[in-house]
A and B are shown apart, each in its own frame.
Chain A
Amino acid sequence: MPKTTIKFDYDKYLRKDTLPHIWCPGCGDGIILKSLLRAIDKLQYKKDDVVITSGIGCASRLPGYVDFNTIHTTHGRALTFAIGIKMYKPRLKVITVSGDGDALAIGGNHFIHAARRNIDMTLIVFNNYTYGMTGGQSSPTQPYGSHATTTPYGSVEPPFDTCELAKAAGATWVARSTSYHAVQLEKLIADALTHKGFSVLEVITNCHISYGRRNKMKSPVEMIKYQKEKAVPNRSAVNMTPEELTGRFKTGLIYEKKDSLEFVEETYKQLELIKQ
């Protein structure tokens, strides 16, 4: 695994006059932001070539702070803008960041269709199990039995498994990490970005404010501990029984399919053929 530079110069990517950010102290989203910047730096992408789109929510405020071409769109629809700009200018590296509600509730339809098309982009889902920005309402990834302001007696709905959903819908690179596993996270982001096709990275992130304090994890520390303890590296998970995996989540690369048909390339190949 490549070494993570402790003394990384984040300043060259941050829009410093937009700081301070809106995130609560102890929020996991900043860790993901930093990992993303290190990954982009490692790949030596030119800032002008990177487009980041996002929807609405705490996670989706990320693009405002980073010095790329950034589009903070509407709730759930970030992938549609991403598809538009990627199809129009395929040379751009297009990344979408999205919350769990943004990507999987209101944006669920766009999520599965982007995956189905296997379009060469990366989606990073910041899964904090809740609607952080609006104050902790129920989310489609909210664990069964856990509490939210709109499920005050506990959720009786089964949650989505983001990675299984992505894989079933056609994404060709699927992984999970957490805001605790920052080194792994950086590597996975870089892998996601270099994968040709639709890559989905779910990051379990901590929101002690809207989620944790309703679910016996009042502080960021307790939430980070949860991430550390509940994460099961995918390679170990194969030897575990379903009972042993209950309440836990797999991390690392979950699924990868190389050399599948990719949407942008297929489209431009066809355009070339029919051109007058």
Chain B
Amino acid sequence: MSENIKLMQGNEAIAEGAMIAGCDFFAGYPITPSSEVSEILAARLTKKGHIVIQMEDEIAALGAVLGAALGGAKALTATSGPGMSLKSEHIGYASMCEIPCVIVNVMRGGPSTGNPTLPSQADIMQAKWGTHGDHAIIAITPSSVNESFYETIRALNLAVKYRTPVLILTDEIIGHMREKVIIPEKDTLEIIDVKLPDVPPSEYKPYNYKSGKVTPLAPMGEGYRYHVTGLSHGETGFPSAKMEVIQDAQNWLIDKIYNNIKDIEKYEETMTEDADILIVAYGSVSRSAKAALSMARAAGIKAGLFRPITIWPFPEERIKELSKKIKKILVPEMNMGQIILEVQRAACNNIVKGLNIVSGEPITPDKIYLKIKEMM
């Protein structure tokens, strides 16, 4: 493989990753610190002959993305905090109607307008619970520019494979910093494309969940005429108020994600084998955590790092396992304590402490190191 290395910004890596993954529709609405994603796609995706459109707000942007996705597009939108709040209703619609799409949230803190130019990780729980009703979501937290590129490709793949919205949660640090990205040859990548169902239209059930498999979403306009509704619906897609249908359909939305958790989950471990203290960190904070880990090891403290890359579904089984031998866990986050709740749940017999900074100041390695020392 000939290596093609490029220096770019995190937001640019998302745009490039999307393009190489076959994204062929983008709709957005400007907001700092995510606007570069739209700007870069407006300049480049269009040159490939694809639509990039600025809608009148974020609700409309996701609506357009879902409309295009029903036509067969691999569609993407990007936003930050307030825009994410506006997108919530359509994230629920995408979940309920099982429409693939990728939503990028370059987190900036809040509530409300918050800190437009500062980093944050305060939308982690919103990512899971932001829309009303029960559903399962896939969310990914890259921690570098290179990872932003590759995880965007994976996000688009997962969206199509599981017919679900997939969220990419970065933050202002990752979005705006410049690092190298190793651009691969396209044919070395696994790309999951939208395809037609393998049954004729007369046999097509758009929500064939009783098969236990995710049925391909037939692109509209290709002979498969079906109905899409946010009302509870059975396998045919038409609304149903039958209690068993409501229950089954609801179970399916959760099961299709959690029954495939091994395929969806992704994390990285550093020096966890002999660790006495575990740091659980994701996104830009995990970079500081890695540096703190070296400081701790140099000082003779056996620290290890667990870094979720797929943050939802949370890799709780692995945390549970690790917590059997590692009794102390530190969870540094740029929020008031969100993922720590999941860690505490998975590691309920352990000492789990948080390190929480929400001033917009990044969490530095020495702060994490000090906290490790304090806990030992």
CB-CB < 8 A to B71: which residues of A? 84-85, 88-89, 92
- Of residues 27 to 82 in A, which have CB atoms within 8 Å of B's CB atoms? 47-49, 51, 53, 63-64, 67-74, 77, 79-82
CB-CB < 8 A to A86: which residues of B? 67
B149 shortest CB reach to chain A, Å: 21
B237 shortest CB reach to chain A, Å: 9
A22 shortest CB reach to chain B, Å: 9
Contact yes or no, B72 A67, CB < 8 A: no
Measured CB to CB, the nearest residue on chain B to A106 is B59
Contact mask for chain B residues 15-29; partner A; CB cutoff 8 A; 1 contact, 0 none: 000000000110100
Contact yes or no, A91 B229, CB < 8 A: no
Contact yes or no, B220 A69, CB < 8 A: yes
Contacts known (A18-B238, A72-B227); A85 close to B63, Cβ less than 8 A: no
- Of residues 40 to 95 in B, which have CB atoms within 8 Å of A's CB atoms? 46-51, 53, 55-57, 59-73, 75, 89-90, 93
Contact yes or no, B221 A84, CB < 8 A: no
Measured CB to CB, the nearest residue on chain A to B227 is A70
A64 to B71, CA, bound (A): 18
Q: A215 an interface residue at 8 Å Cβ cutoff?
A: no
Contact yes or no, A64 B67, CB < 8 A: no
B196 shortest CB reach to chain A, Å: 13
CB-CB < 8 A to A51: which residues of B? 220-221
Measured CB to CB, the nearest residue on chain A to B93 is A74
Contact yes or no, A53 B225, CB < 8 A: no
B128 shortest CB reach to chain A, Å: 20
Q: B267 an interface residue at 8 Å Cβ cutoff?
A: no
Q: A195 an interface residue at 8 Å Cβ cutoff?
A: no
Contact yes or no, B64 A91, CB < 8 A: no
Contact yes or no, A87 B47, CB < 8 A: no
Within 8 Å by CB of B63, from A67, A68, A80, A92, lies: A80
Interface residues on chain B, size class: 35 or more
CB-CB < 8 A to A7: which residues of B? none
Q: B239 an interface residue at 8 Å Cβ cutoff?
A: yes
Interface of B is mostly: mixed
Q: B222 an interface residue at 8 Å Cβ cutoff?
A: yes
Contact yes or no, A48 B223, CB < 8 A: yes
Q: A6 an interface residue at 8 Å Cβ cutoff?
A: no
Q: B197 an interface residue at 8 Å Cβ cutoff?
A: no
CB-CB < 8 A to A240: which residues of B? none
Contact yes or no, A80 B59, CB < 8 A: yes
Measured CB to CB, the nearest residue on chain A to B55 is A80
Q: A109 an interface residue at 8 Å Cβ cutoff?
A: yes
Q: B231 an interface residue at 8 Å Cβ cutoff?
A: yes
Q: A274 an interface residue at 8 Å Cβ cutoff?
A: yes
Contacts known (A68-B225, A87-B68, A109-B57); A81 close to B51, Cβ less than 8 A: no
The tally of residues in A whose CB lies under 8 Å from a CB in B reads: 41
Measured CB to CB, the nearest residue on chain B to A92 is B221
Q: A193 an interface residue at 8 Å Cβ cutoff?
A: no
Q: B246 an interface residue at 8 Å Cβ cutoff?
A: no
A41 to B158, CA, bound (A): 40
Contact yes or no, A83 B64, CB < 8 A: yes
CB-CB < 8 A to A82: which residues of B? 67
B303 shortest CB reach to chain A, Å: 47
Within 8 Å by CB of B49, from A47, A68, A271, lies: A271
**Which of A53, A85, A271 has most chain B Cβ within 10 Å?**
A85
A37 shortest CB reach to chain B, Å: 15
Within 8 Å by CB of B67, from A88, A271, A275, lies: A88
A74 to B91, CA, bound (A): 11
A276 to B89, CA, bound (A): 37
CB-CB < 8 A to A70: which residues of B? 225-228
Q: B230 an interface residue at 8 Å Cβ cutoff?
A: yes
Contact yes or no, A88 B72, CB < 8 A: yes
Contact yes or no, A64 B221, CB < 8 A: no
CB-CB < 8 A to B59: which residues of A? 77, 80
Contact mask for chain A residues 97-141; partner B; CB cutoff 8 A; 1 contact, 0 none: 000000000000110010000000000000000000000000000
B181 shortest CB reach to chain A, Å: 21
Contact yes or no, A64 B93, CB < 8 A: no
Contacts known (A87-B51, A274-B46); A77 close to B63, Cβ less than 8 A: yes
Name 5 extra pairs, CB < 8 A, besides A70-B227, A77-B90, A88-B73.
A48-B225, A72-B227, A84-B27, A85-B67, A113-B60
Q: Which 9 pairs between the two chains have the least Cβ-Cβ distance? A: A84-B67, A80-B63, A81-B67, A84-B64, A72-B229, A88-B68, A84-B68, A69-B220, A85-B67
A-B contact pairs, 28 of them (CB 8 A): A48-B222, A64-B227, A64-B239, A69-B221, A71-B67, A71-B70, A72-B229, A73-B230, A74-B93, A77-B59, A80-B55, A80-B59, A80-B61, A84-B25, A84-B64, A84-B71, A84-B75, A85-B71, A88-B25, A88-B71, A88-B73, A109-B60, A110-B60, A113-B55, A270-B46, A275-B47, A276-B47, A276-B48
